[in-house]
Amino acid sequence: MHYLPAPSRYHDMIYRRCGRSGLKLPAVSLGLWHNFGDVDQLANFRAILHRAFDSGITHFDLANNYGPPPGSAETNFGRILREDFRGYRDELIISSKAGYTMWDGPYGDWGSKKYLVSSLDQSLRRMRLDYVDIFYHHRPDPDTPLEETMSALDLMVRQGKALYVGISNYPAEQAAEAIRLLRELGTPCLIHQPKYSVFERWVENGLLDVLDQQGVGCIPFSPLAQGLLTNKYLGSIPADSRVAKGVGFLQENHLTPERLGQISRLNDLALTRNQSLAQMALAWILKDERITSVLIGASKPEQLTDSLGCLANIKFSAEELAAIDKESGK
């Protein structure tokens, strides 16, 4: 049956301006890091994408190496774009990245102009797109001059292959320098994508201030700490979880009694706010006006709908914030 998006899709989503740009992003964006590879079920990730767009999520975040195998998430996303979203490209923000290992040899990793330009060309072919809306350098390269990496991003915009560019995983000082270089080249840095959650707070040590001062947006990834900030692990470890399967960064030895105690107390706090722990963890990030959007993953449509419940309450009392700080170890 032909997919028709919900007519009400823009009614309930919050859209936030990205830094000082003209672009607005949904407060919740969908990342395709997991669950969209060739190892996954087409019918399931199609249903997730439908549910996302029906809910007002217009921003879909990919990277060259998402899968597995690497590249397959972009190929699969491109297929669903053609088959289901054909008339809606201008309502979508599609992003991709390069910076981690993608192919063999010296030109398939890090931050050289050779790698970044080649990677974007490959991503466009996989998704069958003329351009992406946002292209990121995925991580800093210690061996390539920052001027070269930023000039590659500038070139992509001038070539019409990306509308905006951003950076990911850059610490504050390096981010400030990248932002300065891009501004001098005439292609402003739109957005930064860092890892940020209740349990991972490094962005608060200068990075958020830099982005705010420079008018650059921020879209945190891993806001649920790979599933720690959910009620998934409060009982026994679910058989279908990434911990049980041994995939991803979260390992069973991370679930210490101390950590489980913190999760349990945060879960209790969430319940007093009429939220699930996941909803509270997402709302906690969105409480900060310097944050443009929060990037979530989903393994099924129902999980996505549950996460969107965070938007119902993104205000916190001073007492709630203090309690969260205490459990985060801050």
Per the domain annotation, does 264 fall within a domain?
no
Per the domain annotation, does 213 fall within a domain?
yes
Per the domain annotation, does 271 fall within a domain?
no
What CATH number has the domain bearing residue 67? 3.20.20.100
Q: Please state, in angstroms and rounded to a whole number, the distance separating the CA atoms of residues 222 and 243.
A: 15
Q: Does the structure show a pLDDT above 80 at 237?
A: no
- pLDDT band at 279, cuts 50/70/90? very high
Q: Please, are residues 242 and 250 in contact by the beta-carbon 8 Å criterion?
A: yes
- pLDDT band at 246, cuts 50/70/90? low
Can you give the pLDDT at residue 233? 83
Per the domain annotation, does 10 fall within a domain?
no
CA 263 from centre of chain: 23
Lowest pLDDT segment from 51-65, 222-236, 292-306: 222-236
* Host H or E run for residue 210: helix 207-214
CA angle, corner 19, sides to 149 and 328, nearest 5? 90
What's the rounded mean pLDDT across residues 148-163?
A: 98
* Host H or E run for residue 49: helix 42-54
Lowest pLDDT segment from 208-222, 230-244, 288-302: 230-244
Q: What is the DSSP string of 126-194?
A: HHT-S-EEEEEE-S--SSS-HHHHHHHHHHHHHTTSEEEEEEES--HHHHHHHHHHHHHHT--EEEEE-
Per the domain annotation, does 137 fall within a domain?
yes
Per the domain annotation, does 51 fall within a domain?
yes
CA angle, corner 44, sides to 40 and 291, nearest 5? 90
Q: Please state, in angstroms and rounded to a whole number, the distance separating the CA atoms of residues 327 and 45.
A: 34
Q: Does the structure show a pLDDT above 70 at 241?
A: no
Q: How many distinct structural domains can be found in the chain?
A: 1
Q: What are residue 193's phi and psi, to 5 degrees?
A: -115, 100
Range of the domain at 70: 15-227+288-312
Percent of the chain with pLDDT strictly greater than 70: 94
Per the domain annotation, does 249 fall within a domain?
no
Return mean pLDDT, the chain: 95
Q: Quick count: other Cβ atoms within 10 Å of Cβ 135? A: 28
What's the rounded mean pLDDT across residues 201-219?
A: 98
What's the rounded mean pLDDT across residues 295-312?
A: 97
Can you give the pLDDT at residue 240? 63
* Host H or E run for residue 59: strand 59-61
Per the domain annotation, does 204 fall within a domain?
yes
- pLDDT band at 85, cuts 50/70/90? very high
